[in-house]
Structure 1
Amino acid sequence: MDTTPPPPRSTPENSTPPTGRPRRGRRVLYLAGGALAVVLAVAFLRPHSTTKKHAASGDQPVAVTTVSRGDMPVILTELGTVVPITNVTVQSRIDGYLMQVLFTEGQHVHKGDLLALIDTRPYEVLLAQYEGQLAQDIAQLEAAKVDNARYQRLIRQDSVAAMTAKDQQYKVEQLEGTVKSDQAQVDNEKLQITYCHILAPVDGRVGIRAVDMGNYITAGQTNGLVTLTQMQPISVIFTLPENDIGPVADRLRQGTPLPVEAWDSANLNKIATGQVSVLDSQIDTSTGTVRMRALFANSQEELFPNQFVNARLLVSTDHNVLLVPTNALQTGPNGQFVYVVKADSTVEMRNVKTSHANNTMTVLTDGVKEGERVVTDGVDHLRDGVKVSIPQPGDTTTGATTSKDKG
């Protein structure tokens, strides 16, 4: 039995272990991971390092503006209501059946336009009767006048009794009165026929009719036939506090127009522009206000009756006054103040006195000078003497620091 071990397998001279490809894959992964780490470092560590640099320096980033001079309009904003100059409930002045309705709901009509027609036949019949009575009485009057003339000649000849001539004269006067009464009845019936034609009393827009054709209507009935509203021009009535009456009354006495703007109830959109027409004659003691009326052309009917609006009254304009943004003002125990940035980049808390203001700017009467810089943003962590920095446009620290302050 052969127990000799088998010869070992031969190996090619140029063969190498299969380990090269896995090592190259790991090398690519290491390079990709390193690139990602560099990107993350640039994205996150660089801003934080800049912020830490500002924090280490102790400077507080703020936004500033320069106090300047300019013009400030003095505007009073008051709640008002759109009120038509003329608002008429069209009524019938006689009784009768409504034969025709000659308007369309919502139609614009002119003064004198025929709106409706009431049955005229009963009044025409009465007119004919009174005209016949008038003709009869006129004939009797003419006969009496002839007899009176004859009696007057006879009495001058002493051929008739004076009493008879006098009675004939009285009869003429009596018939003259009867003829006048008949004429008045005729005129009255003509007037009734005129009233059967219901006319528009003013220019305006008709609303929804209250009666339909064929109804029997009466004089002065409730709600009438329709409401007629004058739309052009139209007015806004608003109230003015009694403390502001003086300047407004002075301007009106001088004949100076006072412009008024009507804004929507949210005070966001301007609707129309007009001017003050009248100041009421007395103050309402319960509210301490006085009413004013402003007129608007309303050519496009932007304003609608009974609409609530905000009336902005331009009283005057202050010229060459100190102006600062309203958001620069802060309120403290001693009133309003601003932070003024001094030449050494430190801030000084300075009390100020204010005058008129609008949504963006405020007039200062004391506390600052023209050309000084005041802080408008980043005031949350400021105090007197704190050193500040003013980031330039594009500085990455501005947004981060401001957001932190506001949070």
Structure 2
Amino acid sequence: MSRFWKIALVVVAVVVVAVVAVRLLHKPGGGGGKGTPQGPGGKDNPPVPVTVVPVAKQNVPVYLTALGTVQALNTIAVNPQVGGQLVSLAFTEGQQVKKGQVLAQIDPRTYQASYDQAVSKRNQDQSLLATARSNYERSKDPKYSQYVAKIDLITQHNTVAQYEAAVAADNAAISSAKTQLDYTQIRSPIDGLAGIRGVDPGNVVTTSSTIVTLTQLHPINVMFTLPEQSLDMVRKAQDGAPLQVTALDRVDAHPVATGGVLKVIDNQIDTSTGTFRLKSEFPNADNALWPGQFVNVRLQVRVDDGALVVPAQAVQRGPDGDYVYQVQGDNTVKMQPVVVAGEVGDSHVMIGSGLKAGEQVVTEGQFRLKPGSKVNPLKPGEVPPAPTAADLKKASEQGKGGGRRGR
């Protein structure tokens, strides 16, 4: 190819590039043309419809949350106090039992025999005691005392004391035998719920055999831990009224049990974890809580009167911290830095500083805003009105005008 044609091709390419660039720079909606419609908030753009709500003032409960474990008020492993063959069980697994109710029966024949033997021995000694007393009383009688040697009188007195001691020992032996006999009936020490039995009838049990485990569910405890930084707050709050505790489901956070109160703050901090233990108590009338269950615990430590509250979606996070879009008197918005003091339920937050009660903040439509944008404030659930024919005609004319200026 000759040098002339090479130069001609280069010139043509430059002209084509120049034409394309000019067309792009003067295209309607581009940033370089005069009269081109502005971005959000520009003079020629309609106001941006946004949802706004006022900053509300309300009393806000302040909570501390933690993971808790349900613990029975009492857990009793029922063991025999004497050994022998287990004759029968008088309860059903999973049954509610009462204090003093018979749970099991051990073969009582050996212990009954020991009791009868102790009673017989006491009867024998009581007869000997009666004879010794009669002899002693007769020997003391003035009519016969002159015929009784002093040493014999002393011996008779000592014999009476000896048999009195023997009868007292027999009474103790009878009491012991009766206790052992009573232990053949295994009774419930508490009102509670029977678990799965640990031994079947017919087996020989000892004092180490567990017949059944009982748990007391009414009331019931929930144990949980909090970081040591919260200790002073909880202790000061506990000096007033009892602190309210709620047990929440771990899946969807709905209340599992309400009406709980904080009972005990442990007397030491765990140095390995930097936490301290707390015990709460629930009535548990409907058995909603079960021993060993994991729940989320919500402890109310105080109520902040007149706190400022906004929907959580109103708060945006920027490089300099949290902020909201605040609507001003001329229906323009500004970025207002705020400090979030805590959560209020699942949908709102408490504002520590940056806003005042009654000020309007944007909750929906923030992605179309920038400082100074003109907005059309709407109430929650409200939709902007449909554009009129005049609005559509004006928008059409602005679009055509922008296209002509780009030519």
- Distance in 2 (CA, whole Å) between partners of 1:54 and 1:61 is 14
Aligned to 2:230: 244
Aligned to 1:379: 366
Aligned to 2:243: 258
What one-letter code is carried by the residue in structure 2 that aligns with 1:330? Q
- Distance in 2 (CA, whole Å) between partners of 1:169 and 1:154 is 16
CA contact (8 A) 1:95 1:216 kept: yes
Aligned to 1:35: none
Q: Count matched residues.
A: 344
What one-letter code is carried by the residue in structure 2 that aligns with 1:245? L
Unmatched 5+ stretches in structure 2: 1-36, 388-407
What one-letter code is carried by the residue in structure 1 that aligns with 2:290? F
1:108-257 alignment, distance < 5 Å: 108-153=96-141, 157-221=145-209, 224-254=210-240, 256-257=241-242
CA contact (8 A) 2:139 2:145 kept: no
Aligned to 1:360: 347
- Distance in 2 (CA, whole Å) between partners of 1:159 and 1:370 is 115
Distance 1:334 1:191, change over 3 A: same
Cα deviation, residue 60, structure 1 = 4.6
The 3-state SS of whatever aligns with 1:244 is: helix
What one-letter code is carried by the residue in structure 2 that aligns with 1:264? D
- Distance in 2 (CA, whole Å) between partners of 1:372 and 1:253 is 37
The reply to whether residue 276 of structure 1 matches residue 261 of structure 2 is yes
What one-letter code is carried by the residue in structure 1 that aligns with 2:253? L
Aligned to 2:384: 395
CA contact (8 A) 2:75 2:214 kept: yes
1:17-166 alignment, distance < 5 Å: 57=45, 60-153=48-141, 157-166=145-154
Sequence identity (%): 38
Cα deviation, residue 244, structure 1 = 2.9
CA contact (8 A) 1:264 1:309 kept: yes
- Distance in 1 (CA, whole Å) between partners of 2:281 and 2:338 is 39
- Distance in 1 (CA, whole Å) between partners of 2:193 and 2:363 is 52
The 3-state SS of whatever aligns with 2:366 is: coil
Question: Deviation string for 1:300-359 (max 9, x for gaps)?
Answer: 211111111111222222222211112222233433222212223332222222323222
- Distance in 2 (CA, whole Å) between partners of 1:310 and 1:372 is 35
- Distance in 1 (CA, whole Å) between partners of 2:64 and 2:341 is 13
- Distance in 2 (CA, whole Å) between partners of 1:394 and 1:331 is 26
Distance 1:257 1:317, change over 3 A: same
The 3-state SS of whatever aligns with 2:288 is: coil
- Distance in 1 (CA, whole Å) between partners of 2:386 and 2:355 is 29
- Distance in 2 (CA, whole Å) between partners of 1:74 and 1:302 is 25
The 3-state SS of whatever aligns with 1:394 is: coil
CA contact (8 A) 1:154 1:160 kept: no
Aligned to 2:274: 288
CA contact (8 A) 1:137 1:175 kept: yes
The 3-state SS of whatever aligns with 1:302 is: coil
CA contact (8 A) 1:257 1:275 kept: no
CA contact (8 A) 2:58 2:309 kept: yes
What one-letter code is carried by the residue in structure 2 that aligns with 1:370? A
Cα deviation, residue 124, structure 1 = 1.0
CA contact (8 A) 1:263 1:312 kept: yes
- Distance in 2 (CA, whole Å) between partners of 1:236 and 1:108 is 21
- Distance in 1 (CA, whole Å) between partners of 2:252 and 2:91 is 37
Length-normalised TM-score, structure 2: 0.77
Question: Deviation string for 1:91-130 (max 9, x for gaps)?
Answer: 1100011111111111111111111111111111111111
Q: CA RMSD in A?
A: 2.6
Question: Deviation string for 1:198-254 (max 9, x for gaps)?
Answer: 111111111111111111101132xx0011111222221222333333343334333
What one-letter code is carried by the residue in structure 2 that aligns with 1:316? R
Question: Deviation string for 1:109-166 (max 9, x for gaps)?
Answer: 1111111111111111111111111111111111111222233346995543333222
Length-normalised TM-score, structure 1: 0.77
Aligned to 2:390: none
CA contact (8 A) 1:84 1:234 kept: yes
- Distance in 2 (CA, whole Å) between partners of 1:186 and 1:341 is 92
